[in-house]
Amino acid sequence: MPLPQPMTWRKSSRSGGGENCVEVGCAHGTRAIRDTKLGETSPVLHVTDRAFTAFLRHLLR
């Protein structure tokens, strides 16, 4: 799936300095998640805003 342009990526504040880092992009009601260290070559997971919010709520329980 092509990424909406422009996609602004933000590194997770929980990533710390380790190698387990993710970035989240937001555009047109969807979220895109990718591996920080792979950058532009990373596979991208696309989810709806609603699904992303539900995922975060589950993590923060």
Confirm if 15 and 21 have CB atoms less than 8 A apart: yes
Is the peptide bond between 6 and the residue preceding it cis, with omega within 30 degrees of 0? yes
Identify the bridge partners of residue 8 per DSSP, sorted by sequence position: 26
Determine the pLDDT at residue 11.
Answer: 84
Determine the pLDDT at residue 57.
Answer: 94
* Cα gap 55→38, rounded to integer Å: 23
Taking only the tens place, the pLDDT of each residue in 3-40 is: 556 678 888 777 766 667 888 998 888 899 998 888 88
Determine the pLDDT at residue 32.
Answer: 92
Determine the pLDDT at residue 18.
Answer: 65
Taking only the tens place, the pLDDT of each residue in 31-53 is: 999 988 888 899 999 999 999 99
